[in-house]
Amino acid sequence: MDLDLFCQLFYASHYIPMALLQRGEIQKSYSSLERPLPLYGKVLEQAKGFSGVCKVVSTEDLGLYGLVEAGAQTLLLGPVFSQPVTEKMVSIFARQNGIGNRDWSVLYWLLAGVPRYTYNQFYNLLRFLDLTLNGRNPEEIDAIVQEASAVSQPDSVKARQAMRSPWEERRHETFQVENMILATVRDGDVDALKKLLDTLGKVGNLREGKVADTPLRQAKNIFLGLVSLVGKTAAIPGGMDDEEAYTLIDLYAQECEQAPTVEAVKLLQYNMLLDFTQRVAREKLPPHLSPEITQCVQFLRGHLFGTVGIDEAAGWVGKSRAWLTRKFKEEMGQSFGEFQSYLRTQEAKRLLRYTDISLSEIAGMLGFSSQAYFHSFFKKAVGMTPSEFRKQ
């Protein structure tokens, strides 16, 4: 097979950036870029030792990558994202991969043009490529996939074993299992979740009350209830942005409705839990935060631009200014103002490093009364002026 032509046609039909590797080194890349950008960062390290069945790799920048054997070479696909690409995501991606301000806008339009894939959809695409290039059918792939690494997609065999179970249990048993899993997602503990699901998968078939007339509709209804519960009562309290969580709930609900079999729903269910848990781990808030302080932190993260202060935050959580001032310091270990300053500093760094927005505009966007005040604030926090930071 002409792999170069295959990759050209695949990109032309799917718009997923990809590279052809030989012994872990990029031989040729395929994307809409006129000149290559370092899109693969640390993923290349994993690609050097890769062999065997297809593999999904997730990274700190929230992107998904795929590795597929192609004879003596390897196809590296990605990144793809399961939610709309934002400026914040592009800035994180650029920082993780050493892409400078000069290429920020080019990178933004590249990533924004990549079709969205959920965890499960992307894994199935890799299985299709493995079948096409290597003749491995999905059942064969599932049978030989080994224990996933900390950054890899779990294999389907463990998924099916694990998802034989918890939400098909009797109601009182289901309640206990549900709480165990929700607590693990809320903690962002990926390893603990894998162990828990693996253990639950060995206890045999467990049943829940009938909620539909067919097995497939039953599985889908249980999934739809679970994904909403996980997103709203575990992921958001665990620190995940509420808009991101609701977007992910909708995406998984849509994919669930398209699942053709009960087995597909169970696999999707396992992947959904891992996906939410990994995202919570990346945005982890300090443990044991009260609901009010969790809401307050999320409110601040979602209102970086403008002049939002403690009075608005107190109104948002339904508490007094004095209560919020005291409770925030007690639970977060820093004052409301200190935490807000930290968030503004981080956002200012991002805007300075990855955009061409003027200093006066940045000052206004972040709620500073003047450019001079922003200059003084930034220098005190970072140790250099905004202009010096931008030039370095």
CA separation for the pair 162, 142 (Å, rounded): 14
Strands 18-22 and 64-70: unpaired
289: which 2 tokens? 């935060």
Reported as a single tens digit per residue, the pLDDT across 285-336 is: 676 789 899 889 888 887 877 778 899 999 999 999 999 999 999 988 889 9
Weakest mean pLDDT among 68-77, 179-188, 227-236: 179-188
Reported as a single tens digit per residue, the pLDDT across 350-380 is: 788 767 788 998 988 888 889 999 999 999 9
Nearest Cα neighbor of 131 from 120, 140, 144 is: 140
Other Cβ atoms closer than 10 A to 263: 15
Structural domains of the chain sorted by starting position, each given as residue range(s) with its CATH number in brackets: 3-138 (3.30.450), 154-282 (no CATH), 291-391 (1.10.10.60)
CA-CA-CA-CA dihedral for 96, 241, 56, 206, to nearest 10: 160
Q: What does the pLDDT read at residue 210?
A: 59
What is the rounded average pLDDT of the residues 18-22?
93
Which tops the pLDDT comparison, 98 or 6? Answer: 6
Reported as a single tens digit per residue, the pLDDT across 80-108 is: 988 778 777 888 888 888 888 778 878 88
Nearest Cα neighbor of 182 from 245, 248, 253, 236 is: 236
- Residues 287-316 as b/e (b if ≥16 CB within 10 A, e otherwise) read eebeebbbbbbbbbbebbeeebebeebbeb
CA separation for the pair 39, 29 (Å, rounded): 10
